[in-house]
Amino acid sequence: MNPRDVCADHCHDTGFMRGALCRNCNGNLGRVEGLANRSKRGLSKMSWLVNAVGYLEDRKVPKYDSIHPTFKTEGEKRTLRNKKAKARRIINGKAST
C-alpha cells in the first residue's frame, strides 16, 4: 500500500488512536459511525452497529420470495449502461457505423 494512503485511525469521542487504516476504509468507517450515531434510537453506537451486522447476517438467506421492483441483475445493469453510452455517442456525433 502506498504510504500516502495510510491514515491514523482514532476515536472521535476519546481521541485515542485505534490503528492504521487505508484512507478509503478510514473515511467509510467514519461515515458508518456517524450514521450509527444519528440512528441509534436510544442504543449506544456500538450496540446499533452490532444489531445492524446481526440483521444482515440473519438475512443472508432470503426470508421472502419477492424481489424488489427496482432490482436489476448485473447483465441488466450492463445493458442499460451500454444503451446510455450509445445514446451519448449519438448525441455527441460519434456513433459507430
- pLDDT tens for 34-84 read 999 898 788 898 999 999 999 999 999 989 999 999 999 999 999 999 999
Q: Which CATH architecture has domain 3-66?
A: 3-Layer(aba) Sandwich (3.40)
Assign residue 22 a region: left if phi > 0, alpha if psi is -120 to 50, beta otherwise? beta
Q: Is the dihedral of CA 12, 16, 18, 19 positive or negative?
A: positive
What is the residue whose three cell numbers read 500500500?
Answer: 1
Give the per-residue pLDDT at 32: 92
Provide the whole-model pTM. Answer: 0.62
Across the range 20-43, mean pLDDT stands at 91
Give the per-residue pLDDT at 41: 82
